[in-house]
Amino acid sequence: MAARTLTGKEIAEHNTRESCWIIVHGKVYDVTEFLPEHPGGSKIILKYAGKDATAEYDPIHPPNAITDNLPPEKHLGSVDLSTVQKVEVEISDEDKARQLRVSQRPPLSEILNLHDFEAIARQVMTEKAWAYYSSAADDEITIRENHAAYHRIWFRPRILRNVTNVDWSTRILGQPSKLPIYITATALGKLGHPDGELNLTRAAGKHGVIQMIPTLASCSFDELVDAAVPGQSQFLQLYVNSDRAITQKFVQHAEKRGIKGLFITVDAPQLGRREKDMRMKFEAEDPAEVTDNKVADRVDRSQGAARAISSFIDTGLDWEDIPWFKSITKMPIILKGVQCWEDALLAYDAGLAGVVLSNHGGRQLEFSRSGIETLVEVVANLKEKRGLTFPNEKFQLFVDGGVRRATDVLKAIALGATAVGVGRPFLYAFSAYGQDGVERALQIFNDEFEMNMRLLGARTISEIVPEMVDASSIHQHIVSVPTDRLYDSNYESMQSARLREI
C-alpha cells in the first residue's frame, strides 16, 4: 500500500474494538484484528485506540515488534504529529508515591556496593519492571544458588609480594578490557529507564569495558552501535530466529558494524516460568476478560511481555546448525548457556571460540547448577580429555550469574575463566540512577579489584592462579554457608495466590 499521510482527526475516529488504529513513532497501524492476539491483552491497546501509543509501547517492545507482527497492509501510513491530540496520562497514586521515592534516592556517594543499587532500584522502579528484572524460574532456588555458590569458595592468598602496582585489565576474545568483566545481555532496558541500554553503552565506553548487546534490547541495535566511542568493543547476544534468513542478515549486519563476538543463547528454547512476573501480568489483566477463572480469549498471557517477544526463537536449534553459523560469519562464536562439561567439549570440538557457563541468571531451568560450579568440572574435563589449560586464548571460558563483588570475579578467574558476565546489577544501577549509576557500579568494581588483588598477592590477572582458591566444597549443595545479609535483605520472597477482592 502506498504510504499515506493521515491526520490526527482521521485516526481518532478509529478508537473502538471494531476499528482500532494506533500511532507508534509517527506511523499509523490498524491493529483491530491483532487485538485478541496481543499477548499483553487488548485492554492496554484499546486505551490508546485512535491515539499515540509510543510512550506506552517503547519500554516493553523491541523497536521492530510492531512491524514484525503486523502484515504490511495494516501499516496505514504516517501522521503529522502536530495534528494529534496529546494523550492525558493519568498519574496513579502508586506512581505519585513512586515519584516521591525517586526524589528520596540517596546520593551516589552513599552507594557503596552493588547490593545497594538493587535495594534502591526495587523501591524506585515500577512494579512491572521490578517483577520482570528480578524474577527467576519456579521457586527461585537457582537464582539464590548462583550467588551462594561463590560463598563455598575461599581464598589462599600469597604474602610478601610487592603489590604497589596492581593491574586488573585483560583481553576478552582479543579485545582490551579495563576489567575482567563484561556487561552481559538483558532484555527490555527501557522498562527500567527511558534511555534503556544506551546507559550501558555510554558507561562502558567511558570505563573501557565491553557491552554485550541483546537481541531483545529496547533500543535498536544500530542506535547502540552508533553510541559507542572510537575503539569501544561490543559483543552481540543472539536469539536465533526460526526464519534463518532474518538471523543471517542480523549476524552479517552486526559483523559489518564491527561487533567483536557472537554469543548464541542456547539455554532458552522456551522461557522458564517466572512467577513474580506472571503474577504481575495476571493482576494487570482486565477483569472483563477473565471469566469463570479463565482468561476469555485464546492467547496464553502467562508470560506477559517476554512471551510476546520470544515467539520467534527457534526451538529446533541443534548442534548440526553450528557449521552454518561458522559459514555466515568470521566473528568468534561463543555458546551462551552451557551447563555441563560434555557440552563444553562438544563446543570445543566444533571449533567454537568459547562458552559461557550460565543458567541464564536462574531464569530458565530451575536446579541447573551455577556457572561457577560448572566451570570447575569444565576445566578439569577439558584438561583431561583435550589437554587444555585455562585461561586459554583459543577456547575461552566465561561465567555469569550471582556476581556482586570483585572477589566473586577473582574466584572465577582463579578457576580458569577469562572474564565474568554481570547482568542484573547494571540493570538495577541504571534503573535507579541512569548512566551515572552504571559508572558508579564500574568504579566500585575497580576499587574492589585494586584492594582485593593487593590482599590476594596478585599483581596482574595472570598471577591469579588456581592455587589461590579452595573450591573443594563447590559441588556440595547441602553445606551451610555464611548468609549474606545484604543479598538476603534484597531478596524479595515470592508470594502465594491470594483471594480476589470483591
Catalytic residue positions, numbered: 239, 267, 360
Q: For the chain, how many helices (H) and strands (E)?
A: 19, 18
Q: What residue type is 227 in one-letter code?
A: A
What is the spatial distance between Cα 79 and Cα 68, in angstroms, rounded to a whole number? Answer: 20
Residue (390 or 398) nearer to ligand 173, CB: 398
Q: Pick from 265, 252, 236, 241: which is nearest to 316 by CA? A: 241
State which residue, 261 or 361, has the beta carbon closest to ligand 173: 361
Is residue 89 within 8 A of residue 55, CB to CB? The reply is yes
Burial class (CB in 10 A: 0-12, 13-18, 19+), 5: exposed
**Number of residues lying near ligand 173 (CB under 6 A):** 9
Using a CB cutoff of 8 Å and minimum separation of 24, what contacts does 245-254 make? 246/312, 248/328, 250/215, 250/221, 251/325, 251/328, 251/329, 251/331, 252/328, 252/329, 253/221, 254/221, 254/331
Residue 17: DSSP 8-state: S
Residue 363: CB minimum distance to ligand 173, A: 4
CB-based closest residue to ligand 173: 310
187 binds ligand 173 (CB under 6 A): yes
In the complex with ligand 173, which residue's Cβ is closer, 208 or 269?
A: 269
Instruction: Indicate which single residue of 306, 345, 355, 442 sits in contact with ligand 173 (rule: CB under 6 A).
Output: 306
CB-wise, 271 or 372, nearer to ligand 173?
Answer: 271
- Cβ of residue 471: shortest distance to ligand 173, in angstroms? 27
List CB contacts of 83: < 8 A, sequence separation 6 or more: 7, 8, 9
- Residue 339 CB, shortest distance to ligand 173, in Å, is 15
Q: How far is the CB of 134 from ligand 173 (least distance, A)?
A: 11
Four-CA torsion 56, 59, 65, 66, nearest 10 degrees: 10
In the complex, least distance from residue 133 CB atom to ligand 173, rounded to whole angstroms: 9
Question: Considering beta carbons, is residue 315 or 496 the nearer one to ligand 173?
Answer: 315
* 309 is a site residue for ligand 173 (CB under 6 A): yes
Segment 239 to 278, residues that bind ligand 173, using CB under 6 A: 268, 271
Burial of 188 (0-12, 13-18, 19+ CB in 10 A): buried
Q: Restricting to residues 191-220, name those near ligand 173 by CB under 6 A.
A: 216
The three three-digit cell numbers of residue 9, written as one number: 482527526
Q: Which of residues 356-375 bind ligand 173 (CB under 6 A)?
A: 360, 363
Cα dist from 28 to 40, 52, 73, whole Å: 19, 9, 11
Q: Which residues in the 281-300 window bind ligand 173 by CB under 6 A?
A: none
Q: How far, rounded to the nearest angstrom, does the alpha carbon of residue 250 sit from its chain's CA centroid?
A: 19
Q: Residues 69, 201, 310, 396: which binds ligand 173 (CB under 6 A)?
A: 310
Nearer to ligand 173, 11 or 137 (CB): 137
Stretch that binds ligand 173, among 39-47, 106-114, 302-310, 347-355 (CB under 6 A): 302-310
Q: At its nearest, how many Å lie between ligand 173 and the CB of residue 395?
A: 25
The whole-angstrom separation of Cα 100 and Cα 246 is: 44
Contact positions vs ligand 173 (CB under 6 A): 187, 216, 268, 271, 306, 309-310, 360, 363
